[in-house]
Amino acid sequence: MRGSATDPTSAPGNRHTRKAAGAVAAAALLLPLLGAAPSQGAADPATDSAGALQRAFATASTEYHVPQSVLLAVSYLQSRWDTHAGAPSVAGGYGPMHLTDAHTALASVPHHSEGTEDARGDDARAALLPDTKTPAESALPARLETLPKAAELTGIPAGELRTDPAANVAGGAALLAAAQRDLGEPLSADPADWYGAVARFSGADDAATAASYANDVYDVLRTGEERTTDAAQRVTLAARPDLSANTAQLQRAGLRNRSADGTECPTSVSCEWIPAPYEEFGDNDYGNHDLGDRPASQSIKYIVIHDTEGAWDGVLNLIKDPTYVSWNYTIRSTDGLIAQHVKTNDVAWHAGNWYVNAKSVGIEHEGFLASPDAWYTEAMYRSSAKLVKYLATEYDIPLDRQHILGHDTVPGPTTSTIPGMHTDPGPYWDWRHYFELLGHPFTRTAHKTSGLVTILPDYEVNQPSYTGCTKAGEPCAPHGSSEVRLYSDHDTNSPLIKDVGRGKAPTIDVNDLSSRVSTGQQYAVADRWGDWTAIWYLGQKAWFQNPEEQPTAVPASGFVVTPKDGLASVPVYGRAYPEKAAYPAGVPAQSVSPLPYKLPANQKYVVGDEVPGEYYYAVTYTTDSHRVVVGKDLYYEIQYGHRVEFVRAADVKVEPAVG
């Protein structure tokens, strides 16, 4: 939900005069403040309207004596220089500098208390459907109230700081300059001298998180960046590969030391241990996860990306409730702080599919699926990517969309569960950028006549229409998206692809996954027609627009499965469970129940891992009865629709994709 952007303390049009900028001669001594220069061939920001934001950084740099490059790098880590049309982030942050005014923006909607999805997803136990309200926010920390402070420092009304990008940049510059003065440091022209102020700007109250944030800012300074923003502003930050920061300044920042004891995180991020309770209560009930012995007892094959549908403090209160559900990690929006709740060797209840839970790590990100401009910060994306790379290395998990799953791509384990499965992180999660940060960007890997494609739209340009972000049936605000819409013919007036598992007609609602494919997913090509490409999807031929001048998919190479010769179709499963004969005495056999989907003859689907049927029996608080059951039947994971599914290896043949 989006809060009011009205400033209750300032009358419209009543702008206060900014504080004095200092003597012109003094400013001249500080110039040139190392910053940004347009690349060769780029328009001159001094005269080009698309360079207004670049000029705003230069102006604020001069006015507040902060190196332009530092302003640019901090802003990039906060927002990638986007303005989001004045809408707040999930943390109540506004504008390119992500100045926070959380009183105007925070919302609280519990992630796992909505819909009918059983987060545990184990039908050997009664469904776990918690009906818990997100606890009220405690007193707001300073990191969520930087915009009022910027208003005080600059004399610019809060409403203007929210909506005017140039004013927002000035507010960020004033905060950085104030932090520099508080540290007793000069307003130096050298970006190396601003490490402590950058760390303080993060709003973190501990040294480790502030240092992690500052290190990311200085990585941006070293590598440089260049992009066109959501407001069509071209912004450039020149690279300084040899820049070395004065990290000793952090010792004088007055920040507390946070203990990372017990956490499983890379050293390049800030991590704290906030444990989820493993407690027994009620009539043989317990929560809120299961103890395990992974990877010794069973492999970890997946990482599941979620959003919290709630703000940081309330979500952390929920994870401490033994009657609620659990996940392994939560990542904070403002500065990328990671909290770990469940050890990776234990099994958290988060994905709605017990097979996936038993073989995955779940990561929640502070955010809201249906609020396209309650945006994710670059700090959170980068912190998440570092954590995922660390886990992928630790557990030998491939960095692709068959193993790095969104909650929205986890299959319903049984037919009855399909309609209630969750749909986060949704169409506004930037998978393309995320995999670039993971060091595994999606690229073209085959000739244009290849029999496979990787979905790869330009996130900013790709803006399919959605409804239901604020009210059912009402249009969502135009916004970049990772997803591409599917039609039953090569015509946007043709019907949308129907998902028979949902049992209702498809819509363009933001939570309706029936007729959508997502960046990085791969599908077998079924046909082509002009600027349209057809793929095999949910047992149907599904069409999407794919013009050569602005492609939404690129050719790929790989392998596919198709039914063995003589079979008209084969069943599709939502979990890879063992055959009945594999279960030992004392462990009830779980049904191997097909979904209402078929893989018809002559259709092809991209294949992932071959896996044995496996079931983790853990229905008691004490672990003496826990068992990992492994069968002889083998399965293939496939990209069947928007979600992944499974087929029995005995039913299909694997072959290379050809055009």
Supply the pLDDT for residue 115: 65
Q: Same domain, yes or no, for 419 and 509?
A: no
Contacting residues for 301 by C-beta, under 8 A, at least 6 apart: 359, 360, 397, 403, 609, 611
Q: Which of 509, 528, 553 is the last residue of a domain?
A: 553
pLDDT at 1: 25
Residues 268 and 368 in one domain: yes
Torsion angle defined by CA atoms of residues 382, 387, 389 and 391, in that order, rounded to the nearest 10 degrees: -170
Cα–Cα dist 647/573, whole Å: 6
Least confident interval from 33-37, 303-307, 532-536, 567-571: 33-37
Say if residue 207 is in the same domain as residue 77: yes
Rounded Cα distance, 320 and 308, in Å: 15
Residue 623 CB neighbour total at 10 angstroms:
11
The range of the structural domain enclosing residue 157 comes to 24-101+145-252
Distances (CA, A) of 464 to 371, 472, 505: 15, 17, 19
Q: Is the peptide bond before 32 cis (omega within 30 degrees of 0)?
A: yes
Among 610, 629, 608, residue whose Cα is nearest residue 618: 629
Q: Is the pLDDT assigned to residue 384 strictly greater than 60?
A: yes
Residue 622 φ then ψ, to 5°: -80, 145
Structural domain contains residue 19: no
Looking at the structure, do residues 83 and 204 belong to the same domain, yes or no?
yes
pLDDT of 257: 81
Over residues 585-602, mean pLDDT: 96
What pairing do the DSSP bridges indicate for beta strands 271-273 and 338-340?
Answer: parallel
Most confident of 10-24, 406-420, 467-481: 406-420
CA torsion angle 105 107 111 115 (round to 10): -120
Q: Are residues 264 and 247 in the same domain?
A: no
Task: Please check whether residues 239 and 292 belong to one and the same domain.
Answer: no
pLDDT of residue 315: 87
Ramachandran angles phi, psi of 383, nearest 5°: -65, -45
pLDDT at residue 279 in the model: 95
In a domain, 410, yes or no: yes
| CA distance to 7, 195, 198, 240, per residue, from 245 (Å) | 38, 6, 11, 11
pLDDT digits (tens, 9 = 90+) for 385-405: 999 999 999 999 999 999 999
Spatial distance between the Cα atoms of 279 and 321, rounded to a whole number of angstroms: 10
First to last CA, the chain: 46
How far apart CA 314 and CA 136 sit, in angstroms, is 6
Prior bond of 612 cis (ω within 30°): no
Q: How far apart are CA 369 and CA 308, in angstroms?
A: 9
pLDDT at 107 over 70: no
pLDDT at 459 over 60: yes
| pLDDT for 134 | 57
What is d(CA 648, CA 656) in angstroms, rounded to the nearest whole number? 18
Using the predicted structure, report yes or no on whether residue 29 has a pLDDT greater than 50.
no
CA 536, CA 457: separation in Å to the nearest integer? Answer: 19
> What does DSSP assign to residue 651?
G
Which residue carries 């209560």 as its tokens? 281
302 and 240 in a common domain: no
Structure tokens at 189: 């022209």
pLDDT attached to residue 28? 33
Overall average pLDDT of the 316-329 stretch: 92
119 closest CA partner among 413, 469, 512 = 413
Whether residue 517 is contained in a domain is answered as: yes
Of 520, 553, 586, the residue at which a domain comes to its end is 553
Amino acid at 352: G
Q: How sure is the predictor about 47, in pLDDT bands with cuts at 50, 70 and 90?
A: low
Return the number of other C-beta atoms located less than 10 Å from residue 55's C-beta: 16
Cβ proximity of 444 and 555 under 8 Å: yes
What's residue 201's pLDDT?
A: 96
Write down the pTM of the prediction.
Answer: 0.90
Can you tell me whether residue 554 is helix, strand or coil?
strand
φ, ψ at 19 (rounded to 5°): -70, 155
Q: How far apart are CA 367 and CA 432, in angstroms?
A: 18
| Average pLDDT value for residue range 311-324 | 87
Query: Is residue 351 assigned to a domain?
Result: yes
| Region 166-180 average pLDDT | 98
> What Cα–Cα distance (Å) separates residue 613 from each residue in 185, 348, 629, 633?
62, 20, 8, 6
**pLDDT in the model for residue 105:** 55
Top pLDDT among 172 and 22 is at 172
User: Last residue of some domain: 437, 455, 473?
Assistant: 437
Q: Could you give the 3-state DSSP secondary structure of residue 156?
A: coil
What's 243's domain CATH number?
A: 1.10.530
Share of the chain above pLDDT 90, in %: 77
Q: Nearest CA to 180 among 34, 18, 70, 268?
A: 70
Number of structural domains (the chain) is 4
pLDDT in tens, 261-292: 889 999 999 999 999 999 998 777 899 999 99
CB 199 within 8 A of CB 211: yes
Instruction: Compute the chain's Rg from CA coordinates.
Output: 26
Judge whether 211 and 187 are in contact, CB under 8 Å. no
> The CATH number of the domain where 410 resides is what?
3.40.80.10
49-63, 132-146, 147-161, 619-633: least confident range: 132-146
pLDDT (tens digit per residue) in 465-489: 999 988 899 999 889 999 999 999 9
Task: Please indicate, yes or no, whether residues 425 and 317 belong to a single structural domain of this protein.
Answer: yes
| φ, ψ dihedrals at 652, nearest 5° | -130, 165
- Cα separation, 264 vs 613, whole angstroms: 29
Phi, psi angle pair for 180, to nearest 5°: -65, -45
Q: What value does the mean pLDDT of the chain take?
A: 89
Mean pLDDT of 604-615: 97
594 and 522 in a common domain: no
When pLDDT is cut at 50, 70 and 90, the band that residue 347 belongs to is: very high
Residue with tokens 């259709």: 603
pLDDT at residue 7 is higher than 70: no
Distance CA 138, CA 398 (A): 40
In a domain, 128, yes or no: no
Of 16-30, 291-305, 464-478, where does mean pLDDT reach its minimum?
16-30
Reported as a pLDDT band with limits 50, 70 and 90, residue 131 is: low
Residue 172: what residue type? G
The yes-or-no verdict on residue 212 having pLDDT over 90 is yes
Q: Could you read off the pLDDT of 524-567 as tens digits, one per residue?
A: 999 999 999 999 999 999 999 999 999 999 999 999 999 999 99
Q: Could you tell me the pLDDT band of residue 110, with boundaries at 50, 70 and 90?
A: low
How far from 20 is each of 23, 92, 153, 157, 328, CA to CA, in Å? 9, 29, 11, 16, 49
What CA–CA distance (Å, rounded) separates 314 from 375? 18
Amino acid at 8: P
The percent of the chain in helix, strand and coil, each rounded to the nearest 5, is 25, 20, 55
Confidence grade of residue 377 (pLDDT, cut at 50, 70, 90): confident
The predicted pLDDT at position 217 comes to: 97
What does the alpha-carbon distance between residue 492 and residue 488 come to, in Å, rounded to a whole number?
9
Instruction: Provide the pLDDT for residue 138.
Output: 56
pLDDT at 503 over 90: yes
Q: Is the pLDDT of residue 113 over 80?
A: no
pLDDT above 80 (res 24): no
Rounded average pLDDT over 321-344:
95
Structure confidence by residue, pLDDT tens digits, 426-454: 999 999 999 999 999 999 999 999 999 99
- pLDDT category at 372 given cuts 50, 70, 90 is low
pLDDT, greater one: 462 or 14: 462
Higher pLDDT, 658 or 109: 658
Whether residue 523 contacts residue 639, with contact meaning beta carbons closer than 8 Å, is answered with: yes
- Does a structural domain hold residue 379? yes
Q: Residue 299: which pLDDT band, with cuts at 50, 70 and 90?
A: very high
Give strand pairing partners of 607: 638
340 with 412, same domain: the answer is yes
Question: Does residue 266 sit in the same domain as residue 344?
Answer: yes
Q: What one-character DSSP code corresponds to residue 399?
A: S
Is there a domain that residue 1 lies in? no
Sequence-separated (6 or more) residues with CB below 8 Å from residue 506:
495, 496, 497, 498, 499, 512, 514, 515
- Residues facing 519 on adjacent strands: none
Q: Which residues of 229-257 are buried (b: 16+ CB within 10 A; e: fewer)?
A: bbeebbbbbbebeebebeeebbeebebee
In this structure, how many other beta carbons lie within 10 angstroms of the beta carbon of residue 334?
28
Q: Is 182 helix (H, G, I), strand (E, B) or coil?
A: helix
628 found inside a domain = yes
- What does the pLDDT look like over 64-106, one tens digit per residue? 999 999 999 999 999 999 998 888 887 889 999 999 987 765 5
Residues 222, 75 share a domain? yes
